[in-house]
Structure 1
Amino acid sequence: MVHSTLVATLYVDPVMGNDANSGTRSNPYRTLTRALKATASGKMIQLAPGTYSTIGGEAFPLVIPDGVMVLGNEATKGKGILISGSGEYHSQSFGTQNITLLLLGDAQLIGVTLTNPMAKGTGVWIESASPTLANNTLTQCGREGVFVSGTAEPTIRDNVFVQNTIAGLVMARYGKGEVLRNVLQKNALGIAISDFAAPLVAYNKVSENRTGMAFSRNAHPVLRHNLIEKNIQEGLLVNGEASPDLGTTQDPAGNIFRNNGQFDVRNVTSKKLISVGNQLLAKEVQGLIEFVTVTENTEKSVLIKTHFTDMAGHWATAFVEALLSKNLISPFPDGTFQPDAPMTRAQYAALVAGAFHPVAKRQVPEFTDISKEYWAYDAIRIAAQSGFVSGFSNLTFRPEQPVLRLQAIVSLVSGLSLSATFSEDLVNYSDRNTIPKAALNAVATATDNKIIVNFPDPKLIQGNREATRAEVAAMVYQALVAIGTAGAIHSPYIVSPPIMEVE
């Protein structure tokens, strides 16, 4: 059995803290610089809202060591927690650079807003190992939000890259890793990949940039299930000797290219690109490209048909279509499901009320912010009386507020009155130290019942992140499977309970 270790947390508050303090919750440091010097006694640094800059005493560039997590507010992608500054860094592969922050080893930066206001300044530099950059906002950097170089294999997921002068994300040299579920918007370049870099780039939204993605030299990225739309010039520009993987018959790509200014794809190389399973029109392509159609008879390549205009190739299509077949969900007026939009509390109440037909277990007051004419009034009453949802102390329900992933997991366990189980170590989850103690039993119970669905990494529960409509749909369906009212669906993102060895 794997045993967890106690992780000491250091606290930083740029408004109320003092670097002469001990770095505890009640006596926080003032600067992140001070906390980083004290990481021998703590591997997690919790940042309070405020601005972290040279005016407040920060010394740039900030270096996050191997094994250290710097955590702001991942649910809001760092809103109100701003790291702003620049300092010289001497890169082994690119010489002297002006950067805000350097990630080493398997360091983690989660839930902050970061900017480098200096001309030709980079927000985050990654040159080695496998750090994680998640649920941050990288904006208004003088050059790019993130630069990946050397042999780094980072995980870059669920971030927002917006209004950076040259690019949102640049990957060069032999960089690999995963670029997952990011939003890249209003940059000169959304993603630029060069040299021999070969990352997986999947489930990103790339829009309103001058060019969505640009690949050059010998880059060989793998593109899967990205939405590339409304970029001013090209959606994808390929030059040099670059050869992106745009799908195979065994693994259709599922990218959506649409409504880009000049071309959806512009291939200026002498190589023929092969497009398999993408939403891409031949008339919107310049250069050599071959379109391969995936049929239902292609071995291991059956694409699930969908009734929603925005679900083709999505990871959660099977779950969403199964709920549709049970009349538990329906398309929006424009035919979409909006799988990656946050699930609101009202939408969640309506879904669980319809899916489980729960019986009332308690009396609940009238919520002051919901009238009887509100579309989900009856569903909210049913879900609240049966224990799936609760109101707030001021008698409001806040129907349009997003549901967090952990809230959905706890709700399903509580509402269905599942028999509690407890695991001393939730070994499935690499971020299990972020699960509140009060929710450990519920998470363990949901895991044992195969209710939890984690995309794109089954080992990351990300409880404090807003749950998407697709994620909630998948977990509600899995709850139906757990109580025996729906058939199993195969998905690599369903978390299975750990296998315990019998001594």
Structure 2
Amino acid sequence: MRKSAIPAILALLIFACGSDKPTDNNQGITITVEPVRALVDLGTTVHFYCTIAGTDNHSVTWSIDGGVANGTIDSTGSYTAPSDLPANIDSVMITVSARADLAKYATAWAILIDPDKIHVQITGSDTTGLGTRWHPYRTITKALSRAHSGQFVLVGSGEYNEATGEHFPLQVPAGVTVQGSNRDSTFVIGPGGMNPTLDAIFEINGDAITLTSLCISSSNSMGVGIWLRPGFFTTLTGNQITENYIGIYVSGGPNPRPVVSNNRIIGDSIGIVTADSCAPILRNNYIYNCPKYGLEIRNLSRPDLGTNNTNSAGNDTIRNCGDASYHYLVFNGSPNTIWAIGNSWQDQSNVENNDQYIYDDEESSDASGDVILSQQ
């Protein structure tokens, strides 16, 4: 009896097929990471989570693009941002790879946030921007809506107005510093149709606010450049305020005393107005070409233009202010005596006979106080 050879042949074929084709257990690996994007304050830590499927080997490797200069990440996915912002980036790519097959990986982004700074650039976006150096907001309005005490709003060069998305008045929160790139290149321009004495481009009404390195003007020479309702430790310094009806309007009580220093106030109808019973400290300001008054002192206000203490000179320059109708550098409409020591005003060769430049008790039949220019 002859035995069939078919089973032996089939067995040989099955063995051959199985031995010639290698098994790829990693072919179906998938890996994902969450969150895909995380906002991370400098020096703080956030955790990324990965999910791996298609393999029994769930081991992964975490890495950071750019190395330790851009932060660190441990084996569990905990990422710690650097303490200082890297020179040219504010977004760090994080990669997680499957050890079973390093060709299988997923990426996420850590967006580095400087908790002390909000950036604004005319080329930025209020929609997709993050307020970071490389992803700035477009408007000061947006930045101020996000700002809180202790932060700097850093405004880049350019012209910021209604057409670029600003909403006036710009109200600065307490404790916030608004700093332009330079007062000759960062322009904040108020809208047309402003009320000359009621509408302001900036409103300052809180403690520890600083406004610096900006050029502030209105589009039709109306309105108030900065309306300052004093808070404690409030400072206006290093700005140019030009072509408004009133450059700086200071109101409120005698305390606290804001500092207005090192500003150029040029071409406003009135350079500075002090009102109510406020007592601002004016130092090193340059007030020029204001056709009505360089400084108008209203109500019971008492600005400090340099006291009779020789260590506290005003160093304010007021020139070419006034016209045929209003020809006074300083108009003192208050009943207070105002000391004004150590300033540079037009022709003070005879400081006792200041009729041509100062409106005070010598010109007034009402209760105007004196303006004292000398130490005696």
TM-score, L = length of structure 2: 0.58
Q: Structure 2 CA distance, aligned partners of 1:175 and 1:220? A: 14
Identity over aligned pairs, percent = 22
Given that residues 129 and 136 in structure 2 are in contact (C-alpha distance below 8 angstroms), is that contact kept between their aligned partners in structure 1?
A: yes
Q: Structure 2 CA distance, aligned partners of 1:119 and 1:204? A: 24
SS at match of 2:199: strand
Correspondent of 1:236 among 353, 358, 373: 358
SS at match of 2:200: strand
Which residue of structure 2 aligns with residue 205 of structure 1? 317
Distance 1:195 1:17, change over 3 A: same
Counterpart of 2:301, as a letter, is A
Which residue of structure 1 aligns with residue 210 of structure 2? 108
Distance 1:84 1:19, change over 3 A: farther
Given that residues 192 and 220 in structure 2 are in contact (C-alpha distance below 8 angstroms), is that contact kept between their aligned partners in structure 1?
A: no
Which residue of structure 2 aligns with residue 133 of structure 1? 236
Q: Structure 1 CA distance, aligned partners of 2:271 and 2:359? A: 15
Counterpart of 2:294, as a letter, is G
Which residue of structure 2 aligns with residue 226 of structure 1? 343
Matches within 5 A, 1:423-434: none
Q: Structure 2 CA distance, aligned partners of 1:119 and 1:161? A: 13
Moved over 6 A (4+): 87-90
Matches within 5 A, 1:51-62: 51-62=159-170
SS at match of 2:340: strand
Matches within 5 A, 1:75-90: 76=182, 78-86=183-191
Which residue of structure 2 aligns with residue 315 of structure 1? none
Deviation at 1:15?
2.7
Deviation at 1:63?
0.3
Counterpart of 1:182, as a letter, is N
Q: Structure 1 CA distance, aligned partners of 2:302 and 2:115? A: 34
Q: Does 1:158 align with 2:259?
A: no
Q: Structure 1 CA distance, aligned partners of 2:275 and 2:225? A: 16
Distance 1:7 1:18, change over 3 A: closer
Distance 1:16 1:149, change over 3 A: same
Q: Structure 2 CA distance, aligned partners of 1:200 and 1:182? A: 12
SS at match of 1:37: helix
Q: Structure 2 CA distance, aligned partners of 1:35 and 1:42? A: 14
Correspondent of 2:154 among 27, 32, 46: 46
Q: Structure 2 CA distance, aligned partners of 1:237 and 1:177? A: 20
SS at match of 2:358: strand
Which residue of structure 1 aligns with residue 9 of structure 2? none
CA deviation profile, 1:301-359 (whole Å, cap 9, x unmatched): xxxxxxxxxxxxxxxxxxxxxxxxxxxxxxxxxxxxxxxxxxxxxxxxxxxxxxxxxxx
Deviation at 1:116?
2.0
Matches within 5 A, 1:276-315: 276-277=374-375, 292=376
Given that residues 99 and 116 in structure 1 are in contact (C-alpha distance below 8 angstroms), is that contact kept between their aligned partners in structure 2?
A: no
SS at match of 2:142: helix
Distance 1:225 1:31, change over 3 A: same
TM-score, L = length of structure 1: 0.44
SS at match of 1:101: strand
Counterpart of 1:243, as a letter, is G
Q: Structure 1 CA distance, aligned partners of 2:127 and 2:283? A: 36
Q: Does 1:97 align with 2:97?
A: no
Q: Structure 2 CA distance, aligned partners of 1:245 and 1:208? A: 19
Deviation at 1:118?
4.2
Question: What are structure 1's unaligned runs of at least 5 residues?
Answer: 1-5, 247-254, 256-275, 278-291, 293-503
Matches within 5 A, 1:259-408: 276-277=374-375, 292=376
Q: Does 1:37 align with 2:145?
A: yes
Counterpart of 1:82, as a letter, is F
Q: Structure 2 CA distance, aligned partners of 1:86 and 1:219? A: 36
Given that residues 319 and 345 in structure 2 are in contact (C-alpha distance below 8 angstroms), is that contact kept between their aligned partners in structure 1?
A: yes
SS at match of 1:33: helix
Distance 1:58 1:244, change over 3 A: same
Given that residues 137 and 160 in structure 1 are in contact (C-alpha distance below 8 angstroms), is that contact kept between their aligned partners in structure 2?
A: yes
Superposition RMSD in Å? 2.6
SS at match of 1:35: helix
Q: Does 1:180 align with 2:283?
A: yes
Which residue of structure 2 aligns with residue 214 of structure 1? 331
Which residue of structure 2 aligns with residue 351 of structure 1? none
Which residue of structure 2 aligns with residue 117 of structure 1? 219
Which one has the bigger helix percentage? 1
Count of equivalent residues: 235
Counterpart of 1:204, as a letter, is D
Counterpart of 2:333, as a letter, is S
Given that residues 122 and 144 in structure 1 are in contact (C-alpha distance below 8 angstroms), is that contact kept between their aligned partners in structure 2?
A: yes
SS at match of 2:198: strand
Correspondent of 1:15 among 114, 120, 123: 123
Distance 1:55 1:217, change over 3 A: same
Which residue of structure 2 aligns with residue 66 of structure 1? 174
Counterpart of 1:176, as a letter, is A
Over alpha carbons, which structure has the higher Rg? 2
Distance 1:7 1:27, change over 3 A: closer
Deviation at 1:42?
6.2
Distance 1:29 1:184, change over 3 A: same
